[in-house]
Amino acid sequence: MSFQMNRFASLFLSAALAASPATAQDCPPAPDHSARTDAIIAALGAADDQADAMVLTQELWTLWTDAPDARAQDLLDEGMRKRSGYDFLGSRDTLDQLVEYCPDYAEGYNQRAFTSYMRQDFAAALYDLDRAIEINPRHIAALSGKALTLMGLGRMDAAQEVLRAAVDLNPWLRERALLIEQPGTPL
């Protein structure tokens, strides 16, 4: 009888594992675009005008949204599509799946933060932005998103500090217009 129970338990466990969704262990590392990102950020600092900076910024977005694998890419694209269609809860659910599947992929958190921001759930957005920045400290969009989120929370001093860090990386950042001049410090 004991052998039968162990065999049944083993079969049940095998079936349960086969039916379970993929875990973070199945998600490969995100592509390493650090060298190209560094070059783009350097080029942003030397850009002659807003048009040149926009081209470079678009290239950054291409790198940031290059997911670790096809499943992660599908989840990212679906979450962004749902958000664009104002299905914020559907977007959140899809991006939750992405973050669970690829917990070390910064853009999953950044996009989920944007969905939370659109819902004015600033606390949730801030949590995800902090995680995205922890993974990728030079993620300019996550930094500017964090600044906007802190503004939404009424934390203007902290928002200005984070926004200055983002503008240091991209002096052409549109949100630079939200900087408040500090006495003795040029914008």
pLDDT, position 74: 98
Neighbours of 72 (CB within 10 A): 23
Closest CA to 16 of 8, 4, 24: 8
State residue 19's pLDDT score: 39
Q: Which residue shows structure tokens 């957005």?
A: 125
Looking at the domain assignment, is residue 185 inside a domain? no
Residue 110 lies in a domain: yes
CB of 110 within 8 A of CB of 135? no
| pLDDT given for residue 7 in this prediction | 44
pLDDT of residue 182: 76
What string of pLDDT tens digits covers the 187 residues of the chain? Answer: 444 444 444 433 343 333 344 445 699 999 999 999 999 999 999 999 999 999 999 999 999 999 999 999 999 999 999 999 999 999 999 999 999 999 999 999 999 999 999 999 999 999 999 999 999 999 999 999 999 999 999 999 999 999 999 999 999 999 999 999 876 665 5
- Joined together, the tokens standing for residue 2 give 């004991």
The pTM score is 0.84
CB-facing half-sphere around the CA of 37: CA atoms within 13 A: 18
* Integer Cα distance of 12 and 15 in angstroms: 5
In a domain, 3, yes or no: no
Indicate whether 53 belongs to any domain: no
Q: Which CATH number do you get for residue 102?
A: 1.25.40.10
CA distance 83 to 153: 22
Helix (H, G, I), strand (E, B), or coil: what is residue 83?
Answer: helix
Which amino acid makes up residue 38? D
H or E stretch covering 131: helix 122-135
d(CA 171, CA 56): 12
| pLDDT of amino acid 181 | 85
- Amino acid identity, position 171: P
Determine the Cα–Cα distance for residues 157 and 165; give it in Å rounded to an integer: 13
Task: Classify residue 21: in a domain, yes or no.
Answer: no
What's the DSSP call for residue 28? P
State how many domains the chain has.
Answer: 1
Residue 89: what pLDDT?
97
Q: Which domain holds residue 161?
A: 66-171
Does residue 16 belong to any structural domain of this protein? no
Q: What does the radius of gyration of the chain's CA atoms come to, in whole angstroms? A: 21
pLDDT value for 15 = 39
